[in-house]
Amino acid sequence: MQGRQSGAPGVFRAAWVGYRGGMALERDEVRRERLLKNEQVFRDYNNRRVAFEQDADPDGELVPFVCECADPECIEGMELSIDDFIAGHSAPNRFTVKPGHVYPEGEQVLDTHDRFWVVEKPDPATGI
Domain parsing of the chain, residue ranges: 3-120
Give 5-18 as a DSSP string: E-SSTT-EEEPP-S
Q: How far apart are the first and last CA of the chain?
A: 11
Is the per-residue pLDDT at 6 higher than 70? no
Higher pLDDT, 41 or 96: 96
Distance of CA 76 to the CA centre of its chain: 14
Pairing mode of beta strands 63-66, 77-80: antiparallel
- The reply to whether the predicted model has a pTM over 0.95 is no
Q: Cα–Cα distance between 118 and 92 in angstroms, integer?
A: 12
For range 112-125, the mean pLDDT: 87
108, 120 Cβ separation under 8 angstroms: yes
Residue 61 is predicted with a pLDDT of 85
What is the tens place of the pLDDT at every residue in 31-71?
A: 667 677 777 778 887 888 887 777 665 677 888 999 998 88
